[in-house]
Chain A
């Protein structure tokens, strides 16, 4: 396919070879030679036509004829995960304890990523006198991690590199000298086998958490409890890049090494005090709770960076000639008053209500306090006297609730208009304005009601529930894009109202149930719809203004969405692709306006250039239904559990724009799907466009070409376990032994086969390393 691109360029574009097939072919071959001769490959075209196959042969006795480097094997391996736990627990009437130690080691699928952790825990519960109980938990974990994360970057995303059919022609060594190949490859990827030794990235984390709970039983039924919790995570990162790495900085024209050392300490302190009263008198049961809670989160960060390290043997900032540093902290806090009342009569009628008032530092003093409450009731119909004389319905409960809850902005200081410093000029301090904000930023509030019916039939052999919910969210918080003429590209604002509603249905039952063998199966599904009900508008306008936004995962802007009144919350916005034009193999688009190059059989306007088309709403990525299916079999000590998840709905394949590109970008990785389905003279029914050396879909266009049926069903977990019978193990002093095997993501059936259909919250898929098939084997002993 690369040959076709080069051929096209010559045939259509260059002045010397224009229209001359023989010269175009010769030039295309010579370009490929320039690229790959140095790796030991040569090319022979069997004919001068565009589609005549090209043979890849050996060059200069390199020894590489017929062989291609297996990068996938070089970069990826089977990940191995091991974890070992030991725990001891015991106690008396007055005190009980639980302690454990655990070690985990994870060698990831990407060979340079590694992780290990050692952690320990102590739980101690003590009764002091008749009225007081004290519970303490201390947990410490130390983690060590090295390697790096996936990004879209062509050079460092290993998954993306190994998908390219061309990559096998690149070798990590020079065929003439046998030395490491250090120059960059054509499309700016590089030989990571060599370069991975030239940098290192290591992160050590120490996490400490301590919880203390003091409970005082004042009088029977009346308890007071206070909890204090302290959680501290300290992460130290060391990053080093040697002077031989292509990304090394230079000083005085010479490449030098660089080292960065960062320290982040995240601390969370929570204190909560509650008083509760529980009493049963006759058929009435009453429970009351009131309390106060405060939470503070703080993160301290400091960084030291050095360039031009004195010696290649030492990798620390201390040896650097050029230094840079930064240090600051940030955080938030919250205070709440809470209360709850519950009442039930005769275990048949239940009523409860709650109220809380929360204040947060993430909003301005004028708006930071919010009141949130709920009421709920339920009726256990199956406990009524008229339900007692029948065998069919063993459990029937009707419940309903209505409540308000709130969401805070994710930014700590979003309501403050701030000036930031550290923008120095000529080593003198400099400051800029960092955002535009409004101090009437408010809580986002959701008003939810739900109604449910739970039932159990035939002595709870068959049970299930049906639930309907409706949630109206008002003052939706969003970083809304604004006109750049303001000097900023977005501002945090309460933009409007959305509605989510739906049904959840759950059904499960014991298909077979007897003393030795039991088979249960359950299925659940959620049908949800979402809608943008109202958007911010200027005075006098009757319709709110549309907001166009991008999928925030990974910062890649994989998909473009629009909030428009009356439309779904995940409405994809882009150009409507009309497929491939049969006679030319070119991309065609529905213009959705008055422009047209020709009309299709339904009279719709079609254009060849998407620049003539308008963007429209293409699809709704909220699933039609999603949920799970579980089934368990147990026989004596053996159990087998299977857990499936499924979805029916659409998805957007954001990575596809790279694998099926139709032109312009040389050495674009093209998938086998592209090779098989693209339009060619011999395949005029191809569903993908022809590759044209001087045209491209231009991957930045968001279009319906990448919207696919995202429905799938996946065997998420399989667990087979065996509890050795007591008669066998009791003799060795073991109290329980369990052997188990479990597998994750073993089988998937999906409508769109080219990428993992289990998408993120936005319905899109990108270049992250896909979810792995995992096989786990374990052994548990208890004494």
Chain B
């Protein structure tokens, strides 16, 4: 009897440790459901969200590059280098579909929803003090919906009832197969979320993170698309008049690129060594300079002839200080300053004060853009004095050019082109204003067969296709593919 009981106890001991033996957890990951239990957890997940924004497939590089490469501001010296397919509008459903925007965009949105829903749950349980984090996640969710809608859908003032993107304003379950909402619906969700978030955001400068003014700036951009110029003007003025930000003087302008979180940075995305740093072949800066990208002698993008002529209106323009020799000039033996060093800090490529010169913060929203939005909105609502005063502030940077009487929207857009070159904004202005996009196809070694040289937003490749992978997993969306693809 004793022997049996010993054996049985031994078996019982063994079996009870069974459960623990088979419970193997990873040491660098934790259960998702327990990831946000208090305020410091929420901050950690929020940091992770910002880290996800720095992905090269979106704000870390491609989104900025896209807005320049497709605008006629850039040209290439040779085919087959880096991202020249953006320049060539070489998009198709399975080749160069730029699906990274879709997949990383929704990944970011999913992280936002995770933070928002967990914070809502904690609030119900009584925790307070989390509203600021929630509002930041909400603003980012709205921003990504807005940017993705412009990538995949027609401009609001072109056809707002056409397809935008599927709205994901709560966590989407694994088996869901959402279909595209209209552009109008997406914009209304974006505006709703931005306004909801604005009430809880801090009105202080928040380096590396979103604050109240970044939120208002995003709304101002959206309102410009919707042709609500008076709304955009009042938001822009709220930012300008807050006193939180200050424009760079002409002396400070070039140096502003080699330091972090300057006085104009409303939303500056931090790119840090060992975090978002993409290195010397992959970083945003490398795409625009001589010696960047794939090797010492192969420049990927450089300024187009048209842009150089525009900026060349004033040879003493402050903005020349960040431009340098490019490969076309180098190989033909003259100075052609088509390389832009904004994302390498300076022409000496010293970065912005971090250990790696390729880890340069990305200035997503700057005060100069706000002044120009205000000037354009004022010009379009016949507010001549405001248009003139805001325009003049930026126009100062070309000291030899006088300020004209009577500022038109077209003049503001030219100034915007000079100021914000290389910051990923030009293409969106051309689309919004239904302008003719003229690409620079003059470089001898280059052939482009996938588009004409000059076209308007009616060209179907101005928006991206829904890529194969999504259509295969979500068959219903196939019927909603963008026209022409």
Contact = CB atoms under 8 A, between A and B. Distances in A.
A417 B111 contact: no
Contact of A253 (B27, B28, B350): B350
Contacts of A427: 272, 275
A329 B28 CA distance: 7
A418 B29 contact: yes
A333 B24 contact: yes
B27 A486 contact: no
B251 interface: no
A743 to B, nearest CB: 43
Interface in B165-219: 166, 168, 172-178, 208
Contact of A13 (B47, B177, B273, B447): B447
A292 B99 CA distance: 50
B315 interface: no
Interface string B93-131: 111000100110011011101100000000000000000
Nearest to B470: A484
Contacts of A64: none
B304 interface: no
A485 B172 contact: yes
A208 B106 CA distance: 46
A324 B174 contact: no
A538 B174 CA distance: 13
B180 to A, nearest CB: 10
Contacts of B470: 483-485
Interface string A355-376: 0000111000100100000000
Interface string A281-308: 0000000000010101000000000011
Interface stretch (B65-73, B156-164, B352-360): B352-360
A419 B22 contact: no
Contacts of A418: 26, 29-32
B277 to A, nearest CB: 9
A486 B22 contact: no
A386 interface: no
Contacts of A436: 174
Interface stretch (B229-237, B294-302, B316-324, B380-388): B294-302
Interface string B441-485: 000010101000000000000000000011011110100000001
Contacts of A528: none
Given A251-B357, A482-B175, A421 B447 contact: no
Nearest to B173: A486
B45 interface: yes
Contacts, number: 244
A438 interface: yes
Given A430-B47, A482-B175, A548-B472, A421 B28 contact: yes
A483 B177 contact: yes
A483 B356 CA distance: 37
B110 A611 contact: no
A85 interface: no
Nearest to A486: B172
Interface residues of B, number: 87
A251 B356 contact: yes
Interface stretch (A123-131, A458-466, A487-495, A587-595): A487-495
A487 B107 contact: yes
B186 to A, nearest CB: 13
A328 B28 contact: yes
Contacts of A322: 273-274, 355-356
B50 interface: yes
Contacts of A187: 80
Nearest to B270: A426
Nearest to B359: A251
Interface string A383-423: 00000000000000000000000000000110011111111
28 contacts: A248-B280, A249-B356, A249-B358, A250-B280, A307-B355, A307-B356, A328-B27, A335-B21, A365-B23, A368-B22, A416-B29, A418-B26, A421-B30, A423-B275, A425-B270, A426-B272, A431-B44, A433-B32, A438-B174, A481-B469, A483-B176, A484-B99, A484-B469, A486-B173, A487-B109, A487-B113, A491-B174, A701-B95
Interface of B: 14, 18-19, 21-33, 35, 43-52, 54, 79-80, 92-95, 99, 102-103, 106-107, 109-111, 113-114, 166, 168, 172-178, 208, 270, 272-275, 279-281, 294-298, 344, 348-351, 355-358, 445, 447, 449, 469-470, 472-475, 477, 485
Nearest 5 A/B pairs, CB to CB: A487-B110, A430-B47, A430-B48, A253-B349, A419-B35
Given A421-B48, A433-B114, A487-B107, 14 more contacts: A246-B296, A247-B281, A249-B358, A255-B280, A361-B23, A365-B22, A412-B26, A419-B45, A424-B274, A425-B275, A430-B44, A432-B111, A486-B106, A487-B109
